Structure 1
Amino acid sequence: MSVIDWKQRGVVRYEPEDRPLLETFQRETFGADAMQLAPDHFHWLFEEPPERDDEGVQLWVCKRNGAIVGQQGGIPFALKVGERTRKASWAIDLMVAAEWRLRGVGPALSESHMAASDLAVSLSMTDAAYKSYKRAGWTDLGNIPTYLRVLDPPRCLRVSPYGGGLAKLVAKVGKPALTTASFGYAMGSRAFGAKLVEIGSFDHRVDELWEAASPQHPVIARRDWAFLNWRFDASPKADRHRRFYVTRGETVLAYVVLRVDHWKGEPVAVVCDYLARPGWLMPAFALVVDQARREGMAALMCRTLNAQAARPLSLMGFLCLKNGLRTPTRMMVRPALDQPELKPLTGDPKAWFVTTADSDMGFKSLGE
Structure 2
Amino acid sequence: MDTNPAYTVHEADIERDRDLILGLWRGNLGEDARMARKYDWFYRQCPLGAPLTLLLRHEESGEWVGVGSAGPRQMLMGGSRVLAGVLVDLAVLPVHRSLGPALILQTALMKAGAKRFELLYGFPNPKAAAVFKRVGYAPLGELTRYVRVLRHGDYARRRVPALLAGPAGWALDALDRLRLRARSVRLQGQWQARADATLGALWSLAGAGDGPVAVRDLAFLRWRFDQSPLVEVRYLVVRDADGGALAWFAGEARVHGLHVHDFWSRRGAVGPTRAELATLLRSARGAGHASVSVELGAAAATSAWGAAGFAAREARPVFGRSSGASQEAFAARLWLTSADEDE
TM surpasses 0.5: yes
Taking structure 1 as reference, are residues 334 and 150 closer, same or farther at Cα in structure 2, changes over 3 Å only? same
Q: Does 1:294 align with 2:281?
A: no
Q: Does 1:245 align with 2:237?
A: yes
TM-score, structure 2 normalization: 0.83
Check conservation: 1:149, 1:319, Cα contact below 8 A. Answer: yes
Check conservation: 1:156, 1:299, Cα contact below 8 A. Answer: no
Query: Which residue of structure 2 lines up, in the alignment, with residue 118 of structure 1?
Result: 118
Q: Does 1:329 align with 2:313?
A: no
Taking structure 1 as reference, are residues 299 and 312 closer, same or farther at Cα in structure 2, changes over 3 Å only? same
Deviations 1:40-59 (A, max 9, x none): 3211101212222xxx5422
Aligned ranges 1:126-165 → 2 under 5 Å: 126-155=125-154
Check conservation: 1:257, 1:274, Cα contact below 8 A. Answer: yes
Aligned ranges 1:247-266 → 2 under 5 Å: 247-248=239-240, 249=242, 251-263=244-256
Q: Distance in 2 between matches of 1:121 and 1:85?
A: 16
Deviation at 1:121, TM superposition (A): 0.5
Check conservation: 1:213, 1:276, Cα contact below 8 A. Answer: no
Q: Does 1:23 align with 2:26?
A: no
Aligned ranges 1:167-186 → 2 under 5 Å: 174-186=172-184
Deviation at 1:105, TM superposition (A): 2.5
Aligned ranges 1:1-368 → 2 under 5 Å: 9-30=8-29, 33=32, 35-36=34-35, 38=36, 40-52=37-49, 56-64=50-58, 65-102=61-98, 104-114=100-110, 115=112, 116-123=116-123, 125-155=124-154, 174-187=172-185, 190=186, 194-211=187-204, 214-216=207-209, 218-237=211-230, 240-248=232-240, 249=242, 251-263=244-256, 268-278=257-267, 280-307=272-299, 309-321=301-313, 323=314, 328-335=315-322, 339-348=323-332, 351-360=333-342, 363=343
Q: Distance in 2 between matches of 1:48 and 1:59?
A: 15
TM-score, structure 1 normalization: 0.78
Deviation at 1:200, TM superposition (A): 3.0
Check conservation: 1:61, 1:72, Cα contact below 8 A. Answer: yes
Q: Distance in 1 between matches of 2:33 and 2:280?
A: 32
Deviations 1:191-241 (A, max 9, x none): xxx322222321234343111673335321110111101011111246x21
Flag the structure with larger Rg. Answer: 2
Structure 1 unpaired stretches of 5+: 160-166, 364-368
Deviation at 1:27, TM superposition (A): 1.6
Structure 2 unpaired stretches of 5+: 159-164
Q: Which amino acid aligns with 2:340?
A: D
Cα-Cα RMSD: 3.0
Aligned residues: 321
Deviates more, 1:150-159 or 1:22-31: 150-159
Percentage identity across paired residues of the two chains: 24
Q: Distance in 2 between matches of 1:181 and 1:147?
A: 20
Q: Which amino acid aligns with 1:146?
A: R
Taking structure 1 as reference, are residues 6 and 127 closer, same or farther at Cα in structure 2, changes over 3 Å only? farther
Check conservation: 2:274, 2:307, Cα contact below 8 A. Answer: no
Query: Which residue of structure 2 lines up, in the alignment, with residue 164 of structure 1?
Result: none
Query: Which residue of structure 2 lines up, in the alignment, with residue 162 of structure 1?
Result: none
Check conservation: 1:281, 1:309, Cα contact below 8 A. Answer: no
Q: Distance in 2 between matches of 1:84 and 1:226?
A: 18
Check conservation: 2:14, 2:43, Cα contact below 8 A. Answer: no
